[in-house]
Amino acid sequence: MRVLSSVPEHRASPRPLAATGLFLAAIIAGGATGTWWPGIADRLGGAVDHLVMLLVAVIFFTLPSGGLLDRRRVPRIAFLAVAMNFLLIPVVAFALTSVLIPDDALRVGILIYCLAPCTDWFLGFTRMAGGDTAAGSALIPVQLVLQLALYPVWLGVFAGHQVVNTVSAAGPALIIWFVMPAVLAVALRGALRLVAPRSTRGRVIDAADGAVPVILAALIVCLFAANVGTILSDPSAFGRVLLVVFLFFIVVYVVSEAIARGFGLSHPEHALLTMTTSARNAPLMLAVTTIALPDHPAIAAAIVIGMMVEFPHLTALTHLLATHRHRGHAHGAVATRPGRCRDRRQRSITGAVSG
């Protein structure tokens, strides 16, 4: 008798509790390093760009083959994600900052941080949570173009700042952080398909998939080590920033949950919507803002502070979504096993009668 087995969708993905512990340890390690060993923290900060590029490359290397736009669910989830990121979230961010942040510079910094959806590491958290990374990859160019095009519009509408040539200013960073590692990863995946048998390809891809949480943890360590001093420089002012960003994430999470349930999203779609509306594009926005609004350290500091809340929040979401996914799989397996047994018995009876 053939034994039926269940193969998980991402074999190399760790259990949610292990991933949560890894990310929390990375936050603590990075914060402690930045507080007590600033010299080491400066060197770790220099590794952020390289880790972002490595993460993008690994994610694209492990994407399922067959094309990003062949997925029938992409149009719906893309519409929902873009609508949340560029219609609902600006309203939430503006309402919170208008009420709770009296300082103009800090308010501008929080708005810049909140209004730009992430275009790189959110895929890592999406994969960890069992989300649809293929649809997430298809979202990246759309959201990237929109956030850069709207950057001067948001500043003009919400903050009274006039900024031009945003796309040209951010172009080199985009090519380095996203285009180059993505193209290289796709090329390597194609080369692997040509030279390696299927079993070897599977082992290599699983190993790369398993490296995603480790790369994310290293990125968290470096970001926290390099930027924890920003909080310590003005605890009261940046305490308000932390509060607003925390409330922002809570409101966005509640809204995304309501939309996921209202539209009956599958777990992969649900996880993708949650992650793309929670993860923000702080590194790119920091680079663009440094060019577009020089000599405004409070604005840049507010963007950095957002990351201090973002990674614990994404870690908690990863745990919640991945745990929900595992429970759903276990419940589905228990629910369908009797039916499978009945089907097998029916086939045996039918075969015996016909024989």
| Residue pLDDT, tens place only, 232-251 | 777 777 788 889 999 999 99
Using pLDDT thresholds of 50, 70 and 90, give the confidence band for residue 84: very high
Asked whether residue 64 carries a pLDDT value surpassing 70, the answer given is: no
Question: What CA–CA distance (Å, rounded) separates 94 from 106?
Answer: 12
| Beta partners for residue 117, in sequence order | 280
**Sole residue written with tokens 């039918």:** 350
Cα angle 37-40-45, degrees, rounded to a multiple of 5: 120
In the predicted model, what is the mean pLDDT of the chain? Answer: 78
Token pair, residue 313, equals 């929040």
Give percent above pLDDT 70 in the chain. Answer: 76
Using pLDDT thresholds of 50, 70 and 90, give the confidence band for residue 95: very high
CB 25 within 8 A of CB 217: yes
DSSP symbol at 120: S
The whole-number average pLDDT for the span 275-279 is 95
Cα angle 306-120-251, degrees, rounded to a multiple of 5: 40
Using pLDDT thresholds of 50, 70 and 90, give the confidence band for residue 164: low
Q: Identify the CA nearest to 121 among candidates 167, 171, 53, 185.
A: 53
Which of residues 273 and 297 earns the better pLDDT score?
Answer: 273
Cα angle 199-201-204, degrees, rounded to a multiple of 5: 110
User: pLDDT value at position 155?
Assistant: 79
